[in-house]
Amino acid sequence: MRIYQRAMAAAINGIVITDASGPNLPVIYCNPAFEKTTGYTAEEIIGKNCRLLQGKDTDPNAIKQIRQAIRQGEECCVIVKNYRKDGTAFWNELTISPVQDADGKITHFIGIQNDITKRKEAEDSLQKAYEELEKRVDERTATLKQINEKLQLEIADRQKIEAALRESEARFRAIFERAAIGIALVNMEEKPVVSNTALQNILGYSNEELRQKTFSDFTYPDDRDKNQELYQKMILGELDHYQMEKRFYHKNGQIVWANLTVSLMRDEHGKPQFAVSMVKNISDRKQAETALQLSQERLKFLLSSNPVVIYSCKAFGDYGATFISENVRSLFGYEAEEFVNDSGFWATHIHPEDAPGVFANLLHLLEHNYHNHEYRFLHKNGKYIWVYDQTKLIRDQQGNPLEILGYWADISDRKETEDKLKTSLKEKEVLLKEIHHRVKNNLQVISSLLKLQSGYINDQQTLALFGDSQNRVKAMALIHEKLYQSSDLARISLSEYIHQLADNLVNSYALKANNIKLNIFVAQLFLDVDTAIPCGLIINELLSNSLKYAFPDGKSGEINIEFKLLGQEKLYLKVSDNGIGLPADFQLEETESLGLQLVYNLTEQLGGNLTIDSSNGTSFKIIFRPSISSLY
């Protein structure tokens, strides 16, 4: 048996070779490790398909991946559940690689298996596999010798046998070199005599460069002592093989993590001849493990240092906690285990007055997936504290509730501040109501005084001026009366205010208004006092002018008041009539009318634009932008 074939036979990993040209990929070779792992002998497996190792619960995705790799002529590594001959199951880490001839045609597939379920049992029986292999080789050698002697083979027949042996060796060498796992035959001085391409790629050295070094030369210093200790124990017979994770130095200086498996090849006298080293690059896995560890450390730090407590709980029943961050101690005084170990702990510590609302909100969570609520929770010191609870419902792919995620934040200080603000606000509301009430009363007194004073005036023009002033005072008093009566002390209903203002003016000009129809179109808007007073005075002046001058000699007609929101940010006010209109030479800037001058000044105060149209009656249109706080 040649050295490559002996290397395959000595490997502790199960190796099976299939013929790519035959139907169903028949097995042409399997090593003793494969026989031991599966329970099938070489005679039972050779010529058959490896599917006999599959069971009903073998992962179909793994089988699909294997078939796809074989169909595409690619390497693959899968973890698959197989069955031994006796029916017992084992998990198999299987690496499959194609082998090509000189023309690039795939001639064979090599499968290298690693029993990761009962690795210890495989290690204990490995030596027996080697002894059985040596015995079988001796038996086969003896058989060939007997046949040669008995049949007295001629020189040509011997040449055929030798050619067959050379062909077999070449085949095993090709398989050796194309294996996906790094393999090296190492002499007793720890120098790689032969290495395959996979190992050369892992370490970055060529075969010739590797032969000039020992494994210790590119072993990470912290791993050398352990490696040497295990190697010497194996040489001394204390171990038949060993396996370890270790670090190598790549030729470029980078560190490569690898899973190293080492076993011995002995001569016919049992003397160690070569070590078979199988190296699998696990750098990606190690990097993932390191990244996971860092992520866990970061998460642990964030959870412990965060001012809020992160938790998860069941989505049904008693909503028992499944996870609580450790900083819960600083919030409630309890240990996290107290919540997790007692499924009813959280529910029984909610304030009795708040509990019905809290559980009603959890039902709301099932409908909307997100919810937040505030309630009181019993601290370990016996006092209740206010917490803000933000929750999210986690569902599976079918939409079924799985778990609730959330966090708690202490809002006791905010609640205390809110209570103080509510008390202070209530006091200010009482005071503000009183102010509006007194302002309204004072304006009514002024209106009464104007009315009394007008009783002593005989001049009709002066009397009209007193009447206009009285209406203006009433317009302002009406605003404070509405604010006093409103639950909102800062805003009044525009529609209600304009209707009552217009009714008061119509009553004041009862004789002139008999044949006049008043139409009011006002949107449901609310204005603050700083906007409402100028608007009220403008409407007062324009409506008064229409009532006094638009319809002389008892003529009939209509007056329209329109107030609405224009777009999202502007207000639109229009007072119009279908009366006789303004004089042809009318100029607002030159008018001596106190009322119209007041309209002009109030429009500027509002920052608006005033447009006058007298083509068909008279129309005053004002567009202005109120303050953000004045309109909603």
Judge whether residue 444 has pLDDT over 70. Answer: no
**Neighbouring-strand partners of residue 492:** 527
Residue 60 CB neighbour total at 10 angstroms:
9
Q: In the Cβ-directed half-sphere of 31, how many Cα atoms lie within 13 Å?
A: 24
Q: Are residues 625 and 494 in the same domain?
A: yes
User: Is residue 488's pLDDT more than 90?
Assistant: no
Of 151-155, 214-218, 351-355, which one has max mean pLDDT? 351-355
The answer to the question of residue 480 being in a domain is no
Q: Over the stretch 173-191, which tens digit does the pLDDT of each residue have?
A: 666 777 778 888 888 888 8
Q: Is a pLDDT exceeding 80 seen at residue 123?
A: no
Please determine, for residue 432, whether its predicted confidence score (pLDDT) is greater than 60: no
Q: Is residue 598 part of a domain?
A: yes
* Per-residue pLDDT, 381: 94
Query: Which residue, 171, 198, 219, sits at the end of a domain?
Result: 171
Query: HSE-up of 453 (CA within 13 Å, CB side)?
Result: 14
Task: Kindly state whether residues 263 and 320 are assigned to the same domain.
Answer: no
* Structural domain contains residue 558: yes
- Give the pLDDT confidence score for residue 303 in this predicted structure: 62
Let me know if residue 144 belongs to a domain: yes
User: Do 321 and 381 belong to one domain?
Assistant: yes
Work out the mean pLDDT of the chain and round it to a whole number. 80
Is residue 204 domain-shared with residue 120, that is, in the same domain?
A: no
Sign (positive or negative) of CA dihedral 10, 13, 14, 20: negative
pLDDT of residue 348: 92
Total tally of structural domains belonging to the chain? 4
Closest C-alpha to 504, from 539, 533, 458, 531: 539
For residue 424, being part of any structural domain is answered with: no
pLDDT per residue as tens digits for the range 232-257: 898 888 888 899 999 999 999 999 99
Give residue 375's pLDDT band: very low, low, confident or very high (50, 70, 90): very high
129 and 22 within one domain: yes
Q: Which one of 258, 288, 318 terminates a domain?
A: 288
Per-residue model confidence (pLDDT) at position 193: 82
> pLDDT category, 141, cuts 50, 70, 90?
low
The CATH number of residue 327's host domain is 3.30.450.20
153 and 10 share one domain: yes
At residue 324, the pLDDT reads: 87
- Domain range spanning residue 357? 306-410
Verify that 545 and 598 share a domain, yes or no: yes
Asked if pLDDT for residue 574 goes beyond 70, the answer is: yes
User: Is-contact 246 220, C-beta < 8 A?
Assistant: yes
Q: Is the pLDDT of residue 618 over 80?
A: yes
Buried b / exposed e along 399-413 (16+ C-beta atoms within 10 A): eeeeebbbbbbbbee
At 489 the pLDDT is 44
* Domain termination residue (choose one: 171, 199, 231): 171
pLDDT above 70 (res 136): no
Kindly report the CATH number assigned to the domain that includes residue 553: 3.30.565.10
Co-location of 345 and 201 in the same domain: no
Q: What percent of the chain has pLDDT over 90?
A: 18
Q: Is residue 626 very low, low, confident or very high in pLDDT (cuts 50, 70, 90)?
A: confident
- What's the token pair of residue 2? 């040649």
Residues 196 and 135 in one domain: no
User: What was the pLDDT predicted at 632?
Assistant: 47
Asked if the structure places residue 482 within a domain, the reply is no
The yes-or-no verdict on residue 95 having pLDDT over 50 is yes
- Segment 75-89, tens digit of pLDDT: 888 888 888 999 998
- Does residue 131 register a pLDDT over 70? no
Residue 432 covered by a domain: no
Say what the pLDDT of residue 86 is: 92
Count of CB atoms within 10 A of residue 615's CB?
7
Cα–Cα distance, 386 to 412 (Å, whole number): 5
pLDDT of residue 552: 86
Mean of pLDDT values over 252-270: 88
pLDDT digits (tens, 9 = 90+) for 528-540: 777 877 887 788 7
Q: What pLDDT is recorded for position 185? A: 84
Co-location of 144 and 219 in the same domain: no
Same domain, 335 and 190: no
Helix axes 3-10, 126-151, angle to 10 degrees: 140
Tell me the pLDDT tens digit for each residue of 445-467.
Answer: 565 655 666 665 666 666 565 56
Query: Is 584 or 430 the better-scoring residue by pLDDT?
Result: 584
Residues 6+ apart with CB under 8 A from 607: 624, 625
Q: Note if the pTM is more than 0.75.
A: no
Per-residue model confidence as pLDDT tens digits over 285-307: 888 888 877 777 776 666 666 67
Within this chain, do residues 144 and 59 fall inside the same structural domain, yes or no?
A: yes
Tell me phi and psi for residue 490, to 5 degrees.
-105, -15
Instruction: Look at residue 416 and tell me if it is in a domain.
Output: no
